[in-house]
């Protein structure tokens, strides 16, 4: 299923780009659905920076769910290749809970506009329910599009929320 998000940020592209690449970990107070972002690695070659970040969702769980939902189920790893010459980030996400059950990746472009920067994300998300323990094979294909729609409906507002958090962070620093 396709993931799409276009968000305008009222700051110059270079400033927006640098915030995403270098300062994302500092934005936690501006990201209501994220409790932590940890940079795991960074490699640099020419115009390309490769970053691996571990994200942790902020969620209030009912007591009954706390014994079932393990900490890694609220985490995902973001593998990103930031090409400064093209102002493009190619990325893929790996679920902490069920890495084989979710396939998600795409690219984000950062375009200069007259009013700042347009952040355009395009990606794909595929659920592989056959890799989820307890899902009967006969149901896997039936539930796949439903689960994908639900996840995409939850992810797209969060993607815009990250861009909004970047803008709030930049405003606070201005």
Tens of pLDDT along 39-69? 999 999 989 999 999 998 886 666 665 565 5
Its sign, for the CA torsion 116, 123, 100, 31, is positive
The CATH architecture assigned to 2-173 reads 2-Layer Sandwich (3.30)
**Phi, psi dihedrals of residue 114, rounded to the nearest 5°:** -65, -25
Per-residue pLDDT, 152:
73
Measured CA to CA, the distance from residue 132 to residue 19 in angstroms comes to 36
Per-residue pLDDT, 136:
79
Per-residue pLDDT, 158:
79
pTM to 2 decimal places: 0.86
Q: Which residues of the chain register pLDDT less than 50?
A: none
**What is the residue extent of each domain of the chain?**
2-173
Tokens 């090409």 correspond to what residue?
Answer: 83
């Amino acid at each position: 299923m396709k993931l799409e998000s276009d968000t305008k940020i009222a700051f110059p592209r270079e400033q927006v780009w640098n915030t995403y690449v270098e300062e994302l970990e500092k934005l936690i107070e501006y990201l209501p659905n994220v409790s932590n972002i940890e940079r795991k690695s960074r490699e640099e070659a020419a115009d390309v920076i490769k970053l691996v970040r571990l994200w942790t969702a902020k969620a209030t769980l009912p007591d009954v769910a706390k014994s079932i939902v393990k900490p890694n189920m609220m985490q995902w790893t973001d593998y990103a290749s930031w090409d400064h010459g093209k102002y493009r980030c190619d990325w893929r996400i790996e679920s902490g809970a069920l890495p084989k059950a979710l396939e998600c990746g795409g690219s984000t472009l950062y375009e200069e506009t007259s009013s700042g920067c347009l952040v355009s994300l395009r990606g794909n998300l595929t659920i592989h329910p056959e890799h989820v323990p307890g899902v009967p094979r006969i149901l896997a294909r039936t539930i796949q599009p439903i689960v994908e729609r639900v996840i995409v409906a939850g992810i797209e507002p969060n993607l815009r929320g990250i861009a909004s958090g970047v803008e709030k962070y930049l405003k606070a620093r201005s």
